[in-house]
């Protein structure tokens, strides 16, 4: 695994899957400025890797992340820096990626870490994990995306419950409301399940996935007719591609397709 920047994030590529790993286990992968800068760099590198078709976001150690570094946040009290921590830039990178992403939530994803995984496409969690947006219990405001991305995932009423109470949500309940996609009994299996999801996604046609992800993310922000027209236009773009012909040929010939992203 390659160490990025300050050494607080690792990057590993296995076939067509990239693993981005928060690597500050002594601090439960709490996110400080250096870790967030490394994470942004890692995501930029993944974006530029033509061979990568899916990404897993993982944590080194027993938790994905305990959230923002509390000492850093305390020391910023009363300064102009406020909550400008780099989390916003990271979540925007995650949201804008052309490849699908999967988060392995082992142990905990609290407050800022909860917000970190909201723009990730799929979330895998262990049954005992601590998962919630805790900022209102810490005297701050959830400015990393919870007030905007969470209602789009679970609806306004549920989002208000989670944000305004600051209580953890049980992983089984999170699955019931669509916030997570798989609940794993053994925490030690979370990362492997996240990697398996990413590997399955990486086997699909990258051009089609990129366009579908783009439209799905924008679906609630555009009129239906506009979205349908864009869907048709993007679909027509693929008709003359290798992957379009390859997908149908493979089905007719009873074999696995070999997509090239072209």
Place of tokens 């997908």: 247
Catalytic residues: 115, 135
Q: Are 242 and 253 in contact (CB under 8 A)?
A: no
User: Based on the number of CB atoms within 10 Å of its own CB, is 198 exposed (0-12), middle (13-18) or buried (19 or more)?
Assistant: buried
Give CA 181 to chain center in angstroms.
12
Q: Are 24 and 35 in contact (CB under 8 A)?
A: yes
| CB within 8 Å of 138: residues ≥ 6 apart | 70, 73, 111, 166
Q: Which of 138, 165, 149 is nearest to 30 (CA)?
A: 138
The DSSP H or E segment spanning 124 is strand 122-126
CA atoms 68, 72, 74, 80: torsion sign: negative
């Amino acid at each position: 695994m390659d160490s990025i920047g300050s050494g607080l994030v690792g990057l590993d590529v296995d076939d067509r899957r990239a693993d981005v790993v928060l690597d500050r286990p002594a601090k439960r992968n709490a996110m400080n400025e250096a870790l967030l800068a490394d994470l942004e760099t890692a995501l930029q590198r993944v974006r530029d890797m033509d061979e990568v078709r899916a990404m897993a976001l993982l944590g080194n150690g027993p938790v994905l992340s305990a959230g923002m570094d509390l000492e850093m946040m305390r020391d910023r009290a009363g300064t102009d820096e406020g909550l400008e921590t780099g989390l916003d830039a990271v979540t925007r990178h995650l949201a804008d990626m052309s490849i699908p992403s999967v988060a392995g939530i082992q142990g905990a994803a609290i407050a800022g870490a909860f917000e970190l995984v909201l723009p990730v496409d799929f979330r895998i969690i262990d049954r005992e994990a601590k998962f919630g947006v805790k900022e209102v219990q810490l005297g701050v405001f959830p400015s990393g995306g919870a007030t905007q991305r969470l209602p789009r995932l679970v609806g306004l009423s549920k989002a208000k419950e989670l944000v305004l109470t600051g209580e953890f949500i049980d992983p089984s309940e999170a699955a019931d409301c669509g916030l997570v996609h798989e609940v794993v009994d053994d925490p030690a299996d979370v990362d492997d399940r996240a990697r398996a999801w990413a590997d399955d996604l990486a086997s699909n046609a990258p051009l089609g996935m990129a366009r579908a992800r783009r439209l799905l993310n924008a679906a609630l922000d555009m009129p239906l007719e506009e979205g349908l027209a864009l869907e048709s236009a993007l679909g027509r773009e693929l008709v003359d591609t290798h992957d379009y012909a390859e997908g149908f040929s493979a089905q007719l010939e009873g074999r696995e397709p070999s997509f090239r992203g072209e």
